[in-house]
Amino acid sequence: MKSVRLWFKKDGLAVYISHLDMNRCMTRAVRRAEIPLWYTEGFNPHPYMTFLMPLPLGQVGMREPLDIRIEGEMSFGEIKKRLNAVMPEGIEIIDVAKPECKPNAIAAAEYEIIAEFANEGEAQGFALGAASLIEGGVLNAEKRSKRGIKTVNLCEMVRKFEAEAKGNEVFITTILAAGNTVNLNAELLLSALLSQFGAETENTVIVRTKLLQENLSIFE
Amino acid sequence: MYPKKLEKFLLKVQKPGRYTGGELNSVVKDKSKVDIRYAFCFPDTYEIGMSHLGMKILYSLVNAREDAWCERVFAPWTDMEAVMRENDILLYGLESGDEIRNFDILGFTMQYELSYTNVLNMLDLAGLPLRSKDRTSLTPVVIAGGACVCNAEPMAEFFDITLPGDGEEVTNELIDLLKEYKAKGASKQEFLQAAAQIKGVYVPSLYEVEYNEDNTVKSVNPTCGAPEKVEKRNVADLDSMFSPSEFVVPFLEVVHDRTTVEIFRGCIRGCRFCQAGFLNRPLRRKSPEVVEAQCKAICDSTGYDEISLCSLSTSDYKGLEKLITNMLPWTIEEKINIALPSLRADNFPKELMEKLNAVRRSGLTFAPEAGTQRLRDVINKNITEKEVLTTAAQAFSGGWTAVKLYFMIGLPTETEEDIEGIANLAQAVVDEYYKNPDKPKGKSVSVSISVASLVPKPFTPFQWEPQDKPDVLIEKQNYLVSCVKTRKVNVSRHVPWTSFLEGVFARGDRRLADVIETAWRKGCKFDGWAECLKPDMWEESFAENGIDPYFYTARRREYDEILPWDHMDYGVTKKFLVNENKKAHKGETTACCREKCAGCGANKLNGGVCDEIGKTVV
């Protein structure tokens, strides 16, 4: 039995697949691909499969990790080839590798957000306002956790924030806390910023580009 | 693929995956290269529709043709409907995102009566007139199949065509005909008249219905050369019949998400309340080799880890043991679980049960249907209390601690004693658990009883029977609950008003079209969903149209009354049904087809052959 880390991209129609549904979707994909999976030895055997960092519904993931365990030998190249042959539209395996970092080493994630506004003026105003607000260090918002709803200062979870307006659109690059202990959903940050300015977007695209460790080196 | 316009709303509705398409094995074609675009419409949510085997079969069957493209359409849930109506988004096919009003065929499947308002809602969301006569162009042709079209009369004004019986062959013939008539620029009327000549095609508008003063049917008269009796379509050979090798694999969790393969059509049992058991006669069997190959192909193309061998009474399949024995080596190897729905308590070997549980253990369910032997004889459910208890004891010794029992109330000749019998039988099952010396320590037994209400259906021996009114059913339910003395038995019951509405439509006539349309205009839809059912709106709709709904449910019909569905021929003769009805009232049983042919007459549709009894002289 050995652990294998799959790296996949999730975009297009696949962004509407929820985290729970992803689990079922990937289980079936590895079955169709006839990857020699290792099954748990319990009352109800199931393949071992762990998504390290759930991706919220509607967001694009450029490089998302999924750990599986296999029995017997199969090369990483073969696993990748087989999986891509059976993947549904919008999900692509971009890499198969040995897990280098421990799952709990994930500490942050980088996002690229495109927010479309009704006009250039609104976009300009939002880009400038958002950047200075984050710099100011205080942006309180209600955050849901397992223990209930509480008010937190989102800025404490923002490690980097840049916003630039181009025409109607604002392009945001940000690094946010991610992982089991502290985690900030990019959508929550965006909606908190929007409500500060009483602004509304016409459309938004949120892309998680990479997962990072505490020192902001790449999570492998 | 959804229409671009919808994109910014998708994350605002529940379960956007219902509306996006793009699932594995969904079929996308080049629309410029097909002649016929077919929208398979399921008048309920995605999760229910995607569990339906009929849709999977017809979807693959139409898409196997180069000249046609079949897409899926489901009823949008109320939140999505609001988004669509606010933003002028018309109902679209999940594969292309194109508006279905421009398709050639909209094919609805009518599995239950409570989806009728959803059909109207979907036609309206598609931007089409509701009534057949108001849709004047040749296409789209609005057709319907499924169990409910054995009495399509309440929906006759809305559908252009219905297809009683098996859909596999007639669907292709209808597509061929439409392609021809479209090419020559024919009118809708010309097409419908030609379609009516195909066996298994019913064109309601070609039949004139006259009523007596008491509102019963006086006569049904075919026009324009349409046949006097519409014979249901029957596929003779299940082995060579089209069967899909791929299922669309949903992302969302749906009701039944697994490989499903039919093992036979029809039923040998003859339970007198069961419409499916009569509508699907004669019995036609698929051979075990074909079943196994189909199961394997679907598992390979989907990655499913469960197979359901499907039929009306799976343990009656000749060769079941051989089939399962052959399948076990590869299913165990691939960690695939085999599920056998519709097992009977009396004829399933214990050893087979144990083998089946090698991968995953499923629940245990029995359907005694009635609480006393007398009433089980009335409904011809030929199963004894002893058989139920023996099987339950076997199951308990095999380690099960939970059992589900299905019953019905509102059965003909039912008394308080019969209802008490339900509680007694459940108690006897509980007692059986405590008699088992090896029962697990510290674990209690749980017996769930689910109580449905009888809805007498066309083409069953009970088609003449009165149906209990909702208040009577509630009294009976309450009485049952009062008879249950232990917390180890829990009772779940159906909403009596739902059964009532189902009963009105099941045995309804054409006069109900206005009621259905009025109710839909008042906001009725998803009537089968307790949270959506609006009894007040329905009562208003009946009243506004001067229709007494109890005319359809509460009345005992005479044997010689012309029933609204008498011009449909499902093979089983009326003489046979009358005789079964009489026997029911005398408490006499009819042996199952395996013991003795009961002479139902359905084999005449199949060249005199019934796979249970072989060929007999017609």
**Which residue has better confidence, B308 or A147?**
B308
Q: Which CATH architecture has domain A2-99?
A: 2-Layer Sandwich (3.30)
Of B242, B320, B256, give the one whose Cα is nearest residue B62: B242
Of A13, A27, A28, the CB nearest to B20: A13
DSSP codes joined into one string, A70-138: E-S---HHHHHHHHHHHPPTTEEEEEEE---S-GGG--EEEEEEEEE-SSHHHHHHHHHHHHHHHHHT-
| CATH topology match: A2-99 vs A105-212 | yes
Asked if the Cβ–Cβ distance from B1 to A13 is below 8 Å, we say yes
Query: What six digits make up the tokens of B14?
Result: 């529940």
Asked if the Cβ–Cβ distance from A203 to B304 is below 8 Å, we say no
Query: In chain A, whose CA is at the least distance from the CA of B296?
Result: A32
Query: In chain A, whose CA is at the least distance from the CA of B13?
Result: A16
Among residues B227, B258, B288, the one where a domain terminates is: B227
Please tell me the total count of domains within chain B: 2
In a domain, B415, yes or no: no
Q: What are the respective helix, strand and coil percentages of chain B, to the nearest 5?
A: 40, 15, 45
pLDDT tens, residue by residue, B220-276? 999 999 999 999 999 999 999 999 999 999 999 999 999 999 999 999 999 999 999
Judge whether A57 and A13 are in contact, CB under 8 Å. no
What residues of A are in contact with residue B97 (Cβ under 8 Å)? none
Q: HEC states along B399-426?
A: CCCEEEEEEEECCCCCCHHHHHHHHHHH
Confidence of residue B342 (pLDDT cuts 50, 70, 90): low
In a domain, B508, yes or no: no
Of A20, A21, A32, the CB nearest to B303: A32
Collect all residues with Cβ–Cβ distance below 8 Å to B184 and sequence separation of at least 6: none
d(CA B455, CA A124): 65
Judge whether B265 and B446 are in contact, CB under 8 Å. no
Fold observed for domain A105-212? Alpha-Beta Plaits (3.30.70)
Task: Identify residues of B whose CB sits under 8 angstroms from chain A CBs.
Answer: 1, 7-8, 10-11, 16-17, 20-24, 249, 251-253, 257, 300-305, 334-335, 359-361
Q: How distant is the Cα of B16 from the closest Cα of chain A, in angstroms? A: 6
What residues of A are in contact with residue B22 (Cβ under 8 Å)? 12-14, 88-90
Among residues B202, B227, B252, the one where a domain terminates is: B227
Asked if the Cβ–Cβ distance from B301 to A32 is below 8 Å, we say yes
Q: A167: which DSSP letter?
A: T
Please, how many CA atoms are within 13 Å of residue B532, restricted to the half-sphere of its CB? 19
pLDDT tens, residue by residue, B407-430? 999 999 999 999 999 999 999 999
CB atoms < 10 A from the CB of A51, how many? 17
In a domain, B383, yes or no: no
What residues of A are in contact with residue B23 (Cβ under 8 Å)? 88
- In order of A179, B171, B331, B415, B584, the CA distances from B107 in angstroms are 48, 10, 35, 43, 38
d(CA B281, CA B275): 10
Query: In chain A, whose CA is at the least distance from the CA of B249?
Result: A25
CATH classification at residue B51: 3.40.50.280
pLDDT given for residue B618 in this prediction: 44
Q: Provide the H-helix boundaries in B436-561.
A: 470-483, 496-506, 513-521, 535-544, 550-553
Residue A210: strand pairing partners: A110
* Phi/psi of residue B429, nearest 5 degrees: -70, -40
Confidence of residue B87 (pLDDT cuts 50, 70, 90): very high
| Three-state DSSP state, A191 | helix
Query: In chain B, whose CA is at the least distance from the CA of A27?
Result: B303
Of B251, B238, B199, B288, give the one whose Cα is nearest residue B57: B238
Of B257, B303, B360, the CB nearest to A44: B360
pLDDT tens, residue by residue, A80-116? 999 999 999 999 999 999 999 999 999 999 999 999 9
Judge whether B281 and B602 are in contact, CB under 8 Å. yes
Is the bond into B140 cis (omega within 30 degrees of 0)? Answer: yes
Confidence of residue B49 (pLDDT cuts 50, 70, 90): very high
* Mean model confidence pLDDT for chain A: 92
Asked if the Cβ–Cβ distance from B303 to A44 is below 8 Å, we say no
Task: Give residue B176's domain range.
Answer: 4-227
pLDDT given for residue A73 in this prediction: 86
Query: In chain A, whose CA is at the least distance from the CA of B298?
Result: A32
Among residues B159, B193, B227, the one where a domain terminates is: B227
Of A17, A30, A58, the CB nearest to B251: A17
Judge whether A62 and A215 are in contact, CB under 8 Å. no
Per-domain residue ranges of chain A: 2-99, 105-212
pLDDT given for residue B617 in this prediction: 47
Judge whether B421 and B384 are in contact, CB under 8 Å. no
**Does the pLDDT of residue B401 top 90, yes or no?**
no
Asked if the Cβ–Cβ distance from A88 to B1 is below 8 Å, we say no
pLDDT given for residue B37 in this prediction: 98
What residues of B are in contact with residue A88 (Cβ under 8 Å)? 22-24, 249, 251
Asked if the Cβ–Cβ distance from B360 to A24 is below 8 Å, we say no
Of B45, B92, B23, B51, give the one whose Cα is nearest residue B528: B45
pLDDT given for residue A217 in this prediction: 95
Find residues 18-37 of chain A whose CB sits inside 8 Å of chain B.
18, 20-21, 24-25, 27-32
**Burial class of residue B541 (count of CB atoms within 10 Å of its CB; 0-12, 13-18, 19+):** buried
Q: B265: which DSSP letter?
A: E
